[in-house]
Structure 1
Amino acid sequence: MAPQNAAVPGLLSLPRITTLLASLLVAVGAGTNYVFSAYAPQLAARLNINHTQLNVVGLAANVGVYASGPVWGRIVDARGPRIPLAFSFIFLLLGYTGIRHFYDAGVPEGTSLSSLGLALLIACSFMTGVGGNAGSSGAVNSTAKSFPDKARATTTGIVLSGFGLSAFFFSTIAHSLYPGDTSSLLFLLACGTALASSIGFFFVRAIPLAATEIEHTEVPESEATLFSHLNDSHTPLLNQPAEEYPPSSPRSRSRSLSRGRKAQAFEGPNVYGRALWLNPDFWLLFAIFALLSGTGLMYINNVGSIAQALFAKGSPTYDEVQASRWQAAQVSVISIMNFSGRIVIGVLSDNLKNRFGLPRSYSTIFVSTLFFFSQLLATQISDVQDLWKASMLVGFSYGTIFGLWPTVCIEFFGLSHFSENWGYLSLSPLVGGNLFSIAFGRNLDAHAPVERSTGRAHQCLEGRSCYVATLGLTSTACFAAILLSAFVTWRERRKLLAGRL
């Protein structure tokens, strides 16, 4: 009889590496929401919409990403990555093609985009978010299921780093081939993202793990009701015949329960559905994620406007081309550091667990602290030439949260329903992202001069004063996240100590 794992590919086998690289490519195409600041101010000027309306357009993409998470997660868990990747191709192509159409059409001089036009533009932006998350869900799920726990944070971090590198990748190509041409950038986004999804459709799939590579996580009996039903498989876990004891005998029932508990311990926790919503750890992670990701989304979506505000105050003659260069530079810095943060936190959290036996959730304090200092730094910058420092720290911090949270989600709630659980947890950025981004838009509009003929707000010329109040709000939010992260760590420490007694 052949060994059970004879046909299972090795850890560094071609099928696993192919899935990893194809997933990385899909992630690069899926993370284009972060390119928004590269064309947002130009889109607003072309369509004559104010900063608050522009933030609504940007938020629509984020709503598409996070609101669709549970749907794509359930589909990926049940049917695999191909269905989401097919829809990713469709939505990304239609979404960016639609945005490009609005930009090319523009509006007549002295008028602004109609309410219907604004609604359709928001719908296009929403489609780019839904399509990006469809591709990302398939890529991350397949990678997480293709590599064992000891390498999971690192490999998923690599895939998620592609999500962060997306803005740099597309903006750099566009700047090299079509400098200053926003229409061509949008065309590149439409074709490039669709191509990445189509390649992923053929090459991204979950490669099964050998039994010896599946993590062993002890589950206390008191928590059994929070997890999935016991394994009802009729395959014996031990090399003993099933007929050894009559099915109805007490000893048989005892052995079945024991088998179920051993299977459960072997497979790790499996919290999902109603049990997930009743789990206090879920709400703690949800709250921290909302505060930190909302802070990051606010800055990333508006760094182009921040750069323009700082440049306008320091330049007596406002040069649109030069301003766009500073704007593009911030997008590139954020993207590279976003990429780096996802890689670094994956390696760091894997080392904490593998070398020191510490849960990956301990790293949440580190991530929250990074965010807090990024906002303090941003409040102190008054010259556009120094803005890269804040962009670098925000980008790195944002990368660490999205590199860490998926593996913490697996650690707390298990792998079997990972994509669905991650989808629910990913609803949290909608809360912080909407709150902080709308606050930023209103703050900027309040300081921007208004043209009497159209009633539209124009470029704010007051520099840091245009937005600093919003940074005070996000700094407070990040400090609250530090306190909540400390509480999570304390809870995990108590569980560790209780398990050793």
Structure 2
Amino acid sequence: MARHWLGLIAAVWLQSINGTNSNFPAYSSELKRILSISQLQLNNLAFASDAGKLLGWISGVAAARLPLWLVLLIGSALGAAGYGVQFLFLAGKIESLSYWHVFLLTVVAGNSICWINTVSYILAIRNFPLDRQIAVGISSSYVGLSAKIYTAAVAVASDRAKDFLLLNAIFPLIACLAAAPLTREADAGKSRRLVAGFVAMLVITVVTGGFAVATSLIPRAIPPAAVLGGIAALLVLPLATPAAEEIAEAVQHKCLIEVAQDEERLADKDGEIWGIEIEIPPLKMVKRGEFWVYYLVYLCGATLGLVYLNNLGQIAESRGCLGISSLVSLSSAFSFFGRFFPSLLDYFFSKSTKKISTASAMGAMTAPMCGAFFLLVISKQDFALYTSTAVVGICSGAITSISISATRELFGTVNFGVNHNILVSNIPIGSFLFGDFAALLYKKGRIDGQENCVGGRCYQTTFLIWGGLCVLGSLLALVLHVKTKKLRARR
């Protein structure tokens, strides 16, 4: 049983440092200055980070054929190369990099994220077949902690933009080397719900998220070293989970009977809801109408939220807000809880959440984002910026978490690694379309002679359009709910 938890702990560690693309706003302005590029070209660099996901399906194929530890090392090596060379460029150690060199390096770095994500998802899904929703939810929520970790680490050092790139290169490599021995699939036959191990993990996760949010809301009250030390301690705590499980098993002998009952009941649930009995290959999936509706729902929800966060540095700068690092940290902390709560609710209120389709849940999380964008149009105050960033962070994080369940529900688990990477290929497409359009409007809003756009007009039209897209996403989620309902009825 301990091997189950060690695999989940490995996934937690991997995910906690795998949100390197969320750090882009922290060093984007420095890249723009050194490369002497326009806002449109800068946005294309943000797109490049997401463009690596277009090749994310390769990691799914590799995970089906190679040991998971090797898949991890490949992903960390790609990240170390992509971010490491960019760090040397910003540090003045390399002088001959062109814009297109940086673009390609950013694509490679962005692709590395897919490899680590794939291993994390597979560990959670295969090691806990009866509790995969909460296992995936716990591990994937820690991606929302990444920007918080990197921001605190850089603040301890020197708070320089290039340090983000250095940490982006070395943190995932260290974590992958540490987690590689734990990335083995265990015999999942003993998995069950409401065991001491999951209760311990849930408590630790909630405390970790609360700590991240609290230290983001009062950034100057706690020294960065204390924040980083607190997060490190909380990441070590899950190692106590196997011990908690063993103690519970020793005390409660009747668990053996309860396990058998749980397995029988949940096996029926898995067959009914998550589509374990079906195997839909990628080529067949992309020919189905519900896939493309699902694709657009994600595009107008989680992807749009990511585009906003990628542009957060320029948005804050144009509005005269100087706390860019605190905004990145805030979005990270709220994204953490956004990713975690859907799984938490499903775990404890499964009878109620069973009646709510993943499609309707995604639509419910897209609607508040519409209000967040319209709030930015109405109010130019920093309070509105911080509030909207928190809302976008928690909603886009929730959609990302829910989509993992939606992919399993619609297309099964056998080809999950490839199928889900095909879905998230909409992220670079949305990053390019939405981001470039925002950059063009930003350029149009500049006053002659100004290098950067200043004032609320820079993103006003962009926020109106993004808000409208969120409305469209909510409507499409309703359509997907109807199509999903019909599919369930046929099963």
- Please indicate the TM-score interval, normalised by the length of the shorter structure: 0.7 to 0.9
Conserved? CA contact 2:75–2:116, under 8 Å: yes
What secondary structure is seen at the aligned counterpart in 2 of 1:460?
coil
Q: Please name the residue that 2:388 is paired with.
A: 390
Quote the Cα distance in structure 2 between the aligned partners of 1:91 and 1:450. 41
Correspondence for 2:22 among 34, 52, 75: 34
Q: Please name the residue that 1:460 is paired with.
A: 453
More helix by share: 2
Q: Please name the residue that 1:17 is paired with.
A: 5
Render the CA deviation track for 1:96-140: whole Å, top value 9, x for unaligned: 111112222399xxxxx99x6001111111121111111111111
Q: Please name the residue that 2:83 is paired with.
A: 96
What amino acid sits opposite 1:459 in the alignment?
Answer: N
Q: Please name the residue that 1:329 is paired with.
A: 326
Correspondence for 1:125 among 106, 109, 112: 106
RMSD: 2.5
What amino acid sits opposite 1:123 in the alignment?
Answer: L
Render the CA deviation track for 1:55-102: whole Å, top value 9, x for unaligned: 1111111111x2122111122133342232111121111111111122
Quote the Cα distance in structure 2 between the aligned partners of 1:327 and 1:424. 32
CA spacing shift, 1:381–1:200, aligned 2, 3 Å: farther
CA spacing shift, 1:139–1:218, aligned 2, 3 Å: closer
Tell whether 2:469 aligns with 1:477: yes
Conserved? CA contact 2:4–2:188, under 8 Å: no
Q: Please name the residue that 1:215 is paired with.
A: 267
Structure 1 residues 142-221: aligned runs within 5 Å: 142-149=123-130, 151-179=131-159, 181-210=160-189, 212=263, 215-216=267-268
CA spacing shift, 1:468–1:87, aligned 2, 3 Å: same
Deviation at 1:339, TM superposition (A): 0.7
Quote the Cα distance in structure 2 between the aligned partners of 1:475 and 1:383. 19
Render the CA deviation track for 1:455-491: whole Å, top value 9, x for unaligned: xx62212x22101111112111111111111112223
Conserved? CA contact 1:157–1:346, under 8 Å: yes
Tell whether 2:129 aligns with 1:141: no
Correspondence for 1:343 among 340, 343, 347: 340
Tell whether 2:52 aligns with 1:52: no
What amino acid sits opposite 2:157 in the alignment?
Answer: L
Q: Please name the residue that 1:254 is paired with.
A: none
What secondary structure is seen at the aligned counterpart in 2 of 1:30?
coil
Deviation at 1:35, TM superposition (A): 0.7
Quote the Cα distance in structure 2 between the aligned partners of 1:383 and 1:166. 27
Render the CA deviation track for 1:141-192: whole Å, top value 9, x for unaligned: 211111134x32222111111212111110111112223x222332222211
Conserved? CA contact 2:275–2:413, under 8 Å: no
Quote the Cα distance in structure 2 between the aligned partners of 1:267 and 1:193. 32
Q: Please name the residue that 2:295 is paired with.
A: 286
Conserved? CA contact 1:87–1:134, under 8 Å: yes
CA spacing shift, 1:382–1:417, aligned 2, 3 Å: same
What secondary structure is seen at the aligned counterpart in 2 of 1:269?
coil
Quote the Cα distance in structure 2 between the aligned partners of 1:487 and 1:164. 29
Conserved? CA contact 1:298–1:440, under 8 Å: no
Conserved? CA contact 2:58–2:418, under 8 Å: yes
Structure 1 residues 335-374: aligned runs within 5 Å: 335-350=332-347, 353-355=350-352, 357-358=354-355, 359-374=357-372
Task: Please identify, of 69-78 and 51-60, the stretch whose mean Cα deviation from structure 2 is larger.
Answer: 69-78
What amino acid sits opposite 1:302 in the alignment?
Answer: N
Task: For structure 2, list consecutive stretches of 5 or more residues without a partner in the other structure.
Answer: 191-262
What secondary structure is seen at the aligned counterpart in 1 of 2:98?
helix
Render the CA deviation track for 1:183-203: whole Å, top value 9, x for unaligned: 233222221121112223221
Q: Please name the residue that 1:225 is paired with.
A: none
Q: Please name the residue that 1:429 is paired with.
A: 427
Structure 1 residues 254-265: aligned runs within 5 Å: none
Render the CA deviation track for 1:300-341: whole Å, top value 9, x for unaligned: 1111111111117xxxxxxxxxx2xx1111101100011110
CA spacing shift, 1:275–1:390, aligned 2, 3 Å: same
Conserved? CA contact 2:12–2:142, under 8 Å: yes
Conserved? CA contact 1:215–1:268, under 8 Å: no
Quote the Cα distance in structure 2 between the aligned partners of 1:329 and 1:267. 42
Task: State the structure with more CA Rg.
Answer: 1
Quote the Cα distance in structure 1 between the aligned partners of 2:404 and 2:101. 32
Quote the Cα distance in structure 1 between the aligned partners of 2:300 and 2:314. 22
Identical positions, percent: 19
What secondary structure is seen at the aligned counterpart in 2 of 1:148?
coil
Conserved? CA contact 1:178–1:185, under 8 Å: no
Task: Please identify, of 472-481 and 274-283, the stretch whose mean Cα deviation from structure 2 is larger.
Answer: 274-283
Correspondence for 2:310 among 276, 295, 301: 301
Deviation at 1:449, TM superposition (A): 4.5
Conserved? CA contact 1:217–1:267, under 8 Å: no
What secondary structure is seen at the aligned counterpart in 2 of 1:101?
helix
